[in-house]
Structure 1
């Protein structure tokens, strides 16, 4: 019998996310959560730097952003599961483009991580967190450079527009 094991860096990434999602579990996805995430875990914080390093390692090792379409590298890293407090985790790698329009039935929490010394923004927001409430929609846009964006989706729910 064989079992599939994750790379050590993927296990560490999962542990970081489990700790973070424990802190946001049960909180409304709203402006207050956006402010709290940026104050407690925003750009320059230990959490931000750990997540950013884990994402860069995952891309380098090939288990993050392993798919590509429309100029976007992407991939679902973890499905919604109890260990992650029912959040799924996706990471995209985008540079100066807009992605496909979609709706967030249960909301979306994004971590914006500019890379390669860029001052990239995501939907006009700089490095840090961006929270979209339930029922919101957008066409995710990275401008002024390249960024990795980590998406936490409650129950993994996202609906792409036709």
Structure 2
């Protein structure tokens, strides 16, 4: 199994546990307990993201100082979640809304001090209908986005 297939497998295992659950503070607490920064699941996902960036199939596009890319479309194997990963350093991304919510895995790089929307390494969950301007501060981070049905709506500026 190559690294991209392994990444898909790891995500399918995770999304099986997310399917049908409400995207709320309870899910965020569960993710940070079961898949938090000190867990093997977090380490595995981090390893897959770093391998994907190194091999060029992850964060292959660039715009506005942000490297990004949808690595997997929403499919049945991923329980209808799409998977995007961005590579950001001390920058705010484009404002957008989450029609069905968004689940984010924050992977600080370098010294590990980077935050995403003010949060350190770990998970954050945005409920359906929420919106934000994703911001990485205090360094560089990869952020993995799980979007139900791949739904995201960028706000026109």
Q: TM-score, normalized by length of structure 1?
A: 0.95
Q: Select 2:58's aligned residue among 47, 60, 64.
A: 64
| Paired residue total | 156
2:122 aligned with 1:128, yes or no? yes
Corresponding residue of 1:3:
none
Q: TM-score, normalized by length of structure 2?
A: 0.98
Report the CA distance between 1:116 and its aligned residue.
1.4
Q: Select 1:52's aligned residue among 35, 46, 57.
A: 46
2:21 aligned with 1:30, yes or no? no
Corresponding residue of 1:39:
33
What pairs with 1:1-150 in structure 2 (closer than 5 Å)?
8-150=2-144
Query: Aligned partners of 1:12, 1:31: CA distance in 2, in Å?
Result: 29
1:126 match: secondary structure = coil
1:59 match: secondary structure = helix
Contact (CA 8 Å) 1:111, 1:128: kept in 2 or not?
Answer: yes
Contact (CA 8 Å) 1:43, 1:128: kept in 2 or not?
Answer: yes
Contact (CA 8 Å) 1:73, 1:94: kept in 2 or not?
Answer: yes
Detail structure 1 runs of 4+ shifted over 4 Å in the superposition.
none
User: Structure 1: which 5+ residue stretches go unaligned?
Assistant: 1-6
User: Structure 2: which 5+ residue stretches go unaligned?
Assistant: none
Query: Aligned partners of 1:111, 1:15: CA distance in 2, in Å?
Result: 17
Query: Aligned partners of 2:123, 2:112: CA distance in 1, in Å?
Result: 17
